[in-house]
Structure 1
Protein backbone atom coordinates (compact mmCIF):
# COMPACT_ATOMS: atom_id res chain seq x y z
CA UNK A 1 0.00 0.00 0.00
CA UNK A 2 2.93 2.30 0.78
CA UNK A 3 4.49 1.65 -2.65
CA UNK A 4 1.18 1.99 -4.52
CA UNK A 5 0.42 5.39 -3.03
CA UNK A 6 3.94 6.82 -3.29
CA UNK A 7 4.59 6.99 0.45
CA UNK A 8 2.51 8.39 3.25
CA UNK A 9 0.19 11.00 1.76
CA UNK A 10 -3.53 11.83 1.75
CA UNK A 11 -4.42 8.89 -0.53
CA UNK A 12 -2.47 6.46 1.65
CA UNK A 13 -4.15 7.73 4.81
CA UNK A 14 -7.62 7.56 3.26
CA UNK A 15 -7.04 3.95 2.12
CA UNK A 16 -5.67 3.04 5.56
CA UNK A 17 -8.73 4.53 7.31
CA UNK A 18 -11.05 2.70 4.90
CA UNK A 19 -9.34 -0.65 5.54
CA UNK A 20 -9.32 -0.23 9.32
CA UNK A 21 -12.95 0.90 9.40
CA UNK A 22 -14.13 -2.06 7.31
CA UNK A 23 -12.02 -4.65 9.14
CA UNK A 24 -13.19 -3.44 12.58
CA UNK A 25 -16.84 -3.05 11.54
CA UNK A 26 -18.99 -5.37 13.68
CA UNK A 27 -21.52 -5.55 10.82
CA UNK A 28 -18.85 -6.87 8.44
CA UNK A 29 -17.51 -10.11 10.01
CA UNK A 30 -17.31 -11.79 6.60
CA UNK A 31 -14.46 -9.53 5.41
CA UNK A 32 -12.48 -10.11 8.60
CA UNK A 33 -13.02 -13.90 8.34
CA UNK A 34 -11.91 -13.95 4.69
CA UNK A 35 -8.72 -12.00 5.49
CA UNK A 36 -7.85 -14.15 8.53
CA UNK A 37 -8.46 -17.39 6.63
CA UNK A 38 -6.18 -16.26 3.80
CA UNK A 39 -8.98 -16.19 1.23
CA UNK A 40 -8.11 -12.52 0.65
CA UNK A 41 -4.37 -11.82 0.67
CA UNK A 42 -2.82 -8.54 1.72
CA UNK A 43 -1.99 -7.62 -1.89
CA UNK A 44 -5.59 -8.15 -2.92
CA UNK A 45 -6.96 -6.41 0.18
CA UNK A 46 -5.18 -3.10 -0.49
CA UNK A 47 -6.54 -3.06 -4.05
CA UNK A 48 -10.21 -3.59 -3.11
CA UNK A 49 -12.52 -0.63 -3.60
CA UNK A 50 -14.70 0.75 -0.82
CA UNK A 51 -17.71 -1.00 -2.39
CA UNK A 52 -15.88 -4.35 -2.42
CA UNK A 53 -14.85 -3.93 1.23
CA UNK A 54 -18.39 -3.20 2.39
CA UNK A 55 -20.61 -5.77 4.08
CA UNK A 56 -23.39 -7.48 2.13
CA UNK A 57 -26.01 -5.41 3.98
CA UNK A 58 -24.18 -2.18 3.09
CA UNK A 59 -23.84 -3.29 -0.55
CA UNK A 60 -27.59 -3.86 -0.79
CA UNK A 61 -28.25 -0.47 0.90
CA UNK A 62 -25.95 1.24 -1.60
CA UNK A 63 -27.69 -0.50 -4.50
CA UNK A 64 -31.07 0.65 -3.18
CA UNK A 65 -29.78 4.23 -2.82
CA UNK A 66 -28.47 4.20 -6.40
CA UNK A 67 -31.76 2.77 -7.66
CA UNK A 68 -33.79 5.41 -5.80
CA UNK A 69 -31.53 8.22 -7.02
CA UNK A 70 -31.86 7.00 -10.59
CA UNK A 71 -35.64 6.73 -10.27
CA UNK A 72 -35.91 10.22 -8.76
CA UNK A 73 -33.68 11.66 -11.47
CA UNK A 74 -35.80 10.06 -14.19
CA UNK A 75 -38.94 11.53 -12.66
CA UNK A 76 -37.40 15.00 -12.55
CA UNK A 77 -37.56 15.34 -8.78
CA UNK A 78 -34.34 17.35 -8.66
CA UNK A 79 -35.87 20.22 -10.57
CA UNK A 80 -35.94 23.65 -9.02
CA UNK A 81 -39.10 23.96 -6.94
CA UNK A 82 -40.96 27.10 -5.98
CA UNK A 83 -42.70 27.55 -2.62
CA UNK A 84 -46.22 28.94 -2.54
CA UNK A 85 -49.49 29.08 -0.61
CA UNK A 86 -51.61 28.99 -3.77
CA UNK A 87 -52.42 25.27 -3.41
CA UNK A 88 -54.19 23.49 -0.57
CA UNK A 89 -53.26 19.95 0.38
CA UNK A 90 -56.20 17.57 0.14
CA UNK A 91 -54.79 15.44 2.93
CA UNK A 92 -53.83 17.87 5.73
CA UNK A 93 -55.52 21.04 4.39
CA UNK A 94 -52.32 23.10 4.83
CA UNK A 95 -51.23 25.64 2.22
CA UNK A 96 -47.45 25.22 2.52
CA UNK A 97 -46.54 23.67 -0.83
CA UNK A 98 -43.71 23.41 -3.32
CA UNK A 99 -44.34 22.99 -7.01
CA UNK A 100 -42.69 22.74 -10.38
CA UNK A 101 -43.97 22.48 -13.92
CA UNK A 102 -42.96 20.10 -16.67
CA UNK A 103 -44.07 19.53 -20.24
CA UNK A 104 -45.23 15.90 -20.09
CA UNK A 105 -47.48 15.80 -23.15
CA UNK A 106 -47.38 17.34 -26.60
CA UNK A 107 -46.32 20.97 -26.95
CA UNK A 108 -49.81 22.22 -27.84
CA UNK A 109 -51.19 21.10 -24.45
CA UNK A 110 -50.58 22.89 -21.12
CA UNK A 111 -47.70 22.02 -18.80
CA UNK A 112 -48.32 19.61 -15.92
CA UNK A 113 -47.89 21.11 -12.44
CA UNK A 114 -46.46 18.81 -9.76
CA UNK A 115 -47.21 19.90 -6.18
CA UNK A 116 -45.76 18.59 -2.91
CA UNK A 117 -47.12 19.52 0.52
CA UNK A 118 -44.20 20.53 2.73
CA UNK A 119 -46.21 19.67 5.85
CA UNK A 120 -47.20 16.04 5.20
CA UNK A 121 -45.33 15.15 1.98
CA UNK A 122 -48.51 14.48 -0.02
CA UNK A 123 -47.94 14.77 -3.79
CA UNK A 124 -50.39 15.50 -6.59
CA UNK A 125 -50.40 16.85 -10.09
CA UNK A 126 -52.75 18.71 -12.38
CA UNK A 127 -52.76 20.25 -15.84
Structure 2
Protein backbone atom coordinates (compact mmCIF):
# COMPACT_ATOMS: atom_id res chain seq x y z
CA UNK A 1 0.00 0.00 0.00
CA UNK A 2 2.09 2.87 -1.31
CA UNK A 3 -0.45 5.62 -1.61
CA UNK A 4 -0.58 8.85 0.34
CA UNK A 5 -4.36 8.78 0.78
CA UNK A 6 -4.19 5.22 2.12
CA UNK A 7 -1.33 6.09 4.46
CA UNK A 8 -3.26 9.07 5.82
CA UNK A 9 -6.38 6.95 6.34
CA UNK A 10 -4.36 4.35 8.23
CA UNK A 11 -3.00 7.04 10.54
CA UNK A 12 -6.49 8.48 11.09
CA UNK A 13 -7.84 5.01 11.89
CA UNK A 14 -5.11 4.50 14.48
CA UNK A 15 -5.82 7.87 16.06
CA UNK A 16 -9.56 7.19 16.22
CA UNK A 17 -9.00 3.80 17.83
CA UNK A 18 -6.69 5.22 20.47
CA UNK A 19 -9.15 8.03 21.29
CA UNK A 20 -11.77 5.49 22.34
CA UNK A 21 -12.70 5.91 26.01
CA UNK A 22 -12.26 2.16 26.68
CA UNK A 23 -8.59 2.40 25.70
CA UNK A 24 -7.73 5.40 27.90
CA UNK A 25 -5.91 3.51 30.63
CA UNK A 26 -2.49 1.94 31.13
CA UNK A 27 -3.77 -1.58 31.77
CA UNK A 28 -3.58 -2.95 28.22
CA UNK A 29 -0.69 -4.08 26.03
CA UNK A 30 -2.61 -4.84 22.83
CA UNK A 31 -5.77 -4.03 20.88
CA UNK A 32 -7.40 -5.79 17.98
CA UNK A 33 -10.14 -4.42 15.75
CA UNK A 34 -11.73 -6.22 12.81
CA UNK A 35 -13.50 -4.29 10.06
CA UNK A 36 -15.82 -6.75 8.33
CA UNK A 37 -17.51 -6.22 4.96
CA UNK A 38 -18.24 -9.87 4.10
CA UNK A 39 -21.50 -10.73 2.34
CA UNK A 40 -22.52 -7.09 1.99
CA UNK A 41 -22.76 -6.47 5.73
CA UNK A 42 -20.61 -4.02 7.66
CA UNK A 43 -19.50 -4.65 11.23
CA UNK A 44 -16.68 -4.17 13.67
CA UNK A 45 -15.32 -6.45 16.40
CA UNK A 46 -12.64 -5.53 18.90
CA UNK A 47 -10.74 -6.67 21.98
CA UNK A 48 -8.44 -5.21 24.59
CA UNK A 49 -5.65 -7.51 25.87
CA UNK A 50 -4.45 -6.76 29.40
CA UNK A 51 -0.95 -6.90 30.89
CA UNK A 52 -2.25 -9.03 33.77
CA UNK A 53 -3.82 -11.49 31.33
CA UNK A 54 -7.27 -11.78 29.95
CA UNK A 55 -9.16 -9.72 27.44
CA UNK A 56 -12.34 -7.71 27.09
CA UNK A 57 -14.54 -6.91 24.11
CA UNK A 58 -14.41 -3.21 23.21
CA UNK A 59 -15.12 -1.20 20.10
CA UNK A 60 -13.85 2.19 18.99
CA UNK A 61 -16.24 4.96 17.92
CA UNK A 62 -18.34 4.49 14.77
CA UNK A 63 -16.19 7.11 12.99
CA UNK A 64 -13.51 4.42 12.92
CA UNK A 65 -15.68 2.22 10.71
CA UNK A 66 -16.27 5.12 8.31
CA UNK A 67 -12.49 5.53 7.95
CA UNK A 68 -12.01 1.79 7.50
CA UNK A 69 -14.68 1.88 4.77
CA UNK A 70 -12.87 4.82 3.12
CA UNK A 71 -9.57 2.89 3.25
CA UNK A 72 -11.23 -0.11 1.62
CA UNK A 73 -12.65 2.09 -1.17
CA UNK A 74 -9.29 3.80 -1.76
CA UNK A 75 -7.47 0.46 -1.89
CA UNK A 76 -10.10 -0.95 -4.23
CA UNK A 77 -9.40 1.88 -6.67
CA UNK A 78 -5.68 1.04 -6.60
CA UNK A 79 -5.90 -2.74 -6.64
CA UNK A 80 -9.15 -3.20 -8.60
CA UNK A 81 -10.37 -5.66 -5.97
CA UNK A 82 -11.71 -5.27 -2.47
CA UNK A 83 -10.99 -7.11 0.73
CA UNK A 84 -13.60 -8.76 2.94
CA UNK A 85 -12.02 -8.00 6.30
CA UNK A 86 -9.15 -6.15 7.88
CA UNK A 87 -7.50 -6.96 11.21
CA UNK A 88 -5.90 -4.01 12.98
CA UNK A 89 -3.46 -4.50 15.84
CA UNK A 90 -2.03 -1.79 18.08
CA UNK A 91 0.55 -2.76 20.69
CA UNK A 92 2.33 -1.02 23.51
CA UNK A 93 4.69 0.31 24.67
CA UNK A 94 5.58 1.85 21.27
CA UNK A 95 2.04 2.05 19.86
CA UNK A 96 2.99 -0.07 16.86
CA UNK A 97 0.12 -0.53 14.41
CA UNK A 98 -0.24 -3.41 11.97
CA UNK A 99 -3.06 -4.05 9.49
CA UNK A 100 -3.76 -7.29 7.65
CA UNK A 101 -6.27 -7.61 4.82
CA UNK A 102 -8.27 -10.71 3.88
CA UNK A 103 -9.25 -10.98 0.21
CA UNK A 104 -10.12 -14.68 -0.09
CA UNK A 105 -11.74 -16.02 3.08
CA UNK A 106 -14.75 -13.82 4.03
CA UNK A 107 -15.05 -15.27 7.55
CA UNK A 108 -11.37 -15.57 8.48
CA UNK A 109 -11.70 -13.20 11.46
CA UNK A 110 -15.39 -13.82 12.22
CA UNK A 111 -16.89 -15.57 15.21
CA UNK A 112 -19.08 -17.45 12.72
CA UNK A 113 -15.93 -19.20 11.43
CA UNK A 114 -16.60 -22.77 12.61
CA UNK A 115 -12.89 -23.57 13.02
CA UNK A 116 -12.55 -21.00 15.82
CA UNK A 117 -14.61 -22.68 18.54
CA UNK A 118 -16.02 -20.31 21.18
CA UNK A 119 -15.49 -16.69 22.09
CA UNK A 120 -12.26 -17.39 24.00
CA UNK A 121 -10.63 -19.06 21.04
CA UNK A 122 -11.90 -16.27 18.79
CA UNK A 123 -10.35 -13.58 21.03
CA UNK A 124 -7.08 -15.56 21.09
CA UNK A 125 -7.05 -15.78 17.32
CA UNK A 126 -7.39 -11.99 17.01
CA UNK A 127 -4.72 -11.29 19.65
CA UNK A 128 -1.66 -9.35 18.43
CA UNK A 129 1.18 -11.76 17.75
CA UNK A 130 -1.11 -14.80 17.50
TM-score by length of 2: 0.24
The structure with higher relative contact order (CA 8 Å, sep 6+) is 2
TM-score by length of 1: 0.24
- Structure with bigger strand share is 2
Which has the greater radius of gyration?
1
